[in-house]
Structures are given as structure tokens and as C-alpha cells.
Amino acid sequence: MKAAYRKLNESFRPTCVYHLGAGAGFFSEYNMMLLAMLYCLTRRIRFTLYSADANFAFRKGWTDYFEPFCPETSARHHHYLNHRATGSWRTVWKRARQGNAFSLMAGKLKRYVLNAAALCFKLREGSRYYTQDIWQPMLGMKADGHYSIPELGIDGNLAEALRQLTRLTWRFNEETEREVRPLIRQAALPDNYAGCQIRGGDKYTEFDLVDPAVYIRALEKRGNVRDVFVLTDDYRIFRQLQKDCPAYAWHTLCLPSEHGYYHRDFTRNSRTALHRQLIRLLASMEVLCHASFFIGTRTSNPSVFLYMYHPHRCVDADGRKDLLTRSTLGVGNNDGRPT
């Protein structure tokens, strides 16, 4: 599929340079990248990646962990001029309502200067679009729309189309494989096991956290497994599960020192620490990809990824029939915030 994607992608003349890792968590960034790829495919736009400054980068960005799948650029101006369009108009309107004329004028002037600079670089490098140019249009893609790209075997709704793109992009490079495999063995899981994700940390600022008891009830409805792998950012949740439900053998790669994921704190870590954390996350996701079934929630991007990757193995813990909805990916959000 990679060869077919490259051939098709390279046949398009208009080019978009997409900035990956600009500010959100890894799976929010990854899921939105898939949406951008699909948008570009449907509009016959060549997709190029910029991730040299990604908040998860160790040395190079995307290829620190995954195989390349499209052209990439490391041109530094993308750090300043290529960005998500995250709520900028809302910010301007808020300032206007507050009567802060100076801030409003300064914001408009800054935007004008940056847009002019971006246009100059686009002309010089032959690009037509940066991330901010496709952000709102790609958020308008319909979840129940029909997407047909025969060259890539895409023929279905949004979830089905994005699923094909996970197959294309979710491919560890050799170095990542070497680092991930010992951690997977460390999880010490049998052939038949369940998986779940229980998020703590800063997720409560976006959604009400799902009670762990909900996951236990979902497990009890499926009595064919006794081993459960837990993706969590808070070791206290893991300990509570062991205490409340000793009938199951609980497994995790979360460290006892971890008491919740806070994105701002995560991005302040050293590159080496960031790399170690992401490797453990990738190892955990690989474990979950091979679970007999997975219990997730539509409010968390790792769960959304797993629904795209293995939809028939997923059970929704928060009462929704479909983990992948317009709101899950930020599709239709007025300000384009990732969930």
C-alpha cells in the first residue's frame, strides 16, 4: 500500500506541507494527520510532512519512530509559519468584545505579517497550502460521507477511509521495533487477553473521566478472559483495579511514579525522557492492537486510533455505539480544538 500511496501522492501537483507535532498529544496529532491525509487525497493535493520540531521528536520527528511514507521537509520556517488554526478567530472576537483595541490591532497586524511571510515561502518552495489553509476545510469532512480512492482500497465512510490510512502509516522503524519488543515481553501476557484504556491527568479538563467500574462491568459481560492489559497514565488507577477486582490478572507498562498525564509537563521534559515515555506508549498500543478485545472511550485519542485500527475488537465503555464520531476527531468543532 505504501508504494501505491506514494505513486498516487506524487502524481498530484498542488502541495500541502502539514505540520505534525505542533502542540497536542501524540495521538491527537496522529489522528488529525490521518484526516489531513484523507482531505488531501480527496482534493488531489500532494501531502508533505514537516515534523522536525515535533513535541515528540527525539532527533528527526516522525521517522524517529515510524517508517517514512511521504515526502518530508525540515525547512525551519515551518516552525513559525505553518500551524494549526486553533481558535484564532475566537480569540480575536473575544478581544474585540472586551474592548481591547490595541490587542485586536496587534493580533491583526501579526496575522497579516505572518500570512505575507508564509505566502513568500510558499512561492519560493512551490507549496500551495500549509496546515492552517486546510484545517477548517478538513474539519468539515462528513463522518457519514462516502470516500472512494480505488488506488488505495478506500471505499466507505470517514471511519473506514481513515482505517486504511492507519494501515499505511502505523509501521514502526527498526530502531523502534528493537525498543518496543522487550517492553511487550515485560507485560507478560498470555495469548488471550483483554485491553482497556483508563485516562486520568489533564483529561478531566476536556471531559468527565469514565469511572473504572464501568470498565469492570464491561469485562464481566465477556467472561472468556482473565488477563487485562491497562493503558493508563496514573499508576494509582492500576492499583485500584487490582484491589477492587482481584479476580482478574491486571497488567500495565505504567510506572509507579506516574500519577497522571499533563501535556504541559510532558513537553517540558528532556528529549531523552520524552523518547522513553513515547516508546512505552507505543509498546502499550502495540499490546492493545493484539488484544482479543479492547474497551475504550470516544473521549480519548488512543481509543479512537484503536477503533480505526481494529473496530471489530472494540467495546465502548461510555455508552456510545461508535467510538469514531465527528466530535471525536474535532470534525465540526468551531475552533478546531483536538479532543
| Amino acid occupying residue 7 | K
Residue at grid coordinates 475504550: 296
User: pTM, whole model, 2 decimals?
Assistant: 0.83
Q: Which 8-state DSSP code applies to residue 63?
A: G
Measured from the Cβ of residue 163, the count of other Cβ atoms closer than 10 Å reads 19
- What would the DSSP string read from start to end of 89-156? HHHHHHHHHTT-HHHHHHHHHHHHHHHHHHHHHHHHHT--EEHHHHHHHHHT--TT--EEEGGGTEEE
What are the pLDDT digits (tens) for 122-133? 877 878 899 999
pLDDT on residue 259: 73
The Cα–Cα gap between 101 and 149 comes to: 48
CA distances from 106 to 92, 98, 152 (A): 10, 15, 46
pLDDT on residue 11: 96
pLDDT on residue 24: 85
The Cα–Cα gap between 226 and 140 comes to: 42
pLDDT by residue, tens only, the chain of 339 residues? 899 999 999 999 999 999 999 888 899 999 999 999 999 999 999 999 999 999 999 889 999 999 999 999 999 999 989 988 754 444 444 444 555 555 555 555 666 677 777 788 787 787 889 999 999 999 999 888 999 999 999 999 998 999 999 999 999 999 999 999 999 999 999 999 999 998 764 443 333 455 777 788 888 887 788 999 999 988 888 898 898 889 899 999 999 988 765 555 555 667 788 899 999 999 999 999 999 999 988 778 898 999 888 888 888 876 554 545 444 554 433 333 333
H/E stretch holding 16: strand 15-19
Q: Which residues contact 106 (CB under 8 A, 6 or more apart)?
A: none
pLDDT on residue 87: 46
The Cα–Cα gap between 227 and 267 comes to: 33
pLDDT on residue 40: 97
- Phi/psi at 308 (nearest 5 deg)? -65, -40
Identify the structural domains of the chain with CATH numbers, from first to last.
Answer: 2-167 (no CATH), 173-316 (3.40.50.11350)
